[in-house]
Amino acid sequence: MPVRLHARALLLDMDGTLVNSDAVVERCWRRWAERNGLEPESVLRVVHGRQGHATMAALLPDRPMDVNLADNAVMLAEETADTEGVVPVAGAPAFLAALADWPHALVTSASEELARTRMTASALPLPPVLVTAERVSASKPDPEGFLKGAAELGFAPEDCLVFEDAEVGIAAAKAAGMRVVGVGPRAAAHTPTAHVASLEAVRVEAAPEGGLVVTVG
- Whether residues 103 and 189 share a domain: the answer is yes
Query: In whole angstroms, what is the distance from residue 20 CA to residue 45 CA?
Result: 16
Q: How many CA atoms lie within 13 A of 68 on its CB side?
A: 15
- Whether residues 27 and 103 share a domain: the answer is no
Model confidence at 179: pLDDT above 90: yes
Is the link from the previous residue into 141 a cis peptide, with omega within 30 of 0? yes
Give me the catalytic one of 13, 66, 71, 165. 13
Over residues 183-201, the pLDDT tens digits come to 999 999 999 999 999 999 9
| Residue 165 annotated in active site | no
Which CATH number covers residue 184? 3.40.50.1000
Lowest mean pLDDT among 8-22, 26-40, 42-56: 42-56
Helix (H) or strand (E) holding 11: strand 9-12
| Residue 66 annotated in active site | no
The average confidence (pLDDT) of the chain is 95
Query: In whole angstroms, what is the distance from residue 88 CA to residue 97 CA?
Result: 13
Residue among 102, 119, 123, 101 at smallest CA distance from 110: 119
Give me the catalytic one of 15, 71, 82, 142. 15
Over residues 107-154, the pLDDT tens digits come to 999 999 999 999 999 999 999 999 999 999 999 999 999 999 999 999
**Beta strand extents in 76-183 (DSSP E only):** 87-88, 104-107, 129-131, 160-164, 179-183
Identify the domain containing residue 162 by its residue range. Answer: 3-21+86-216
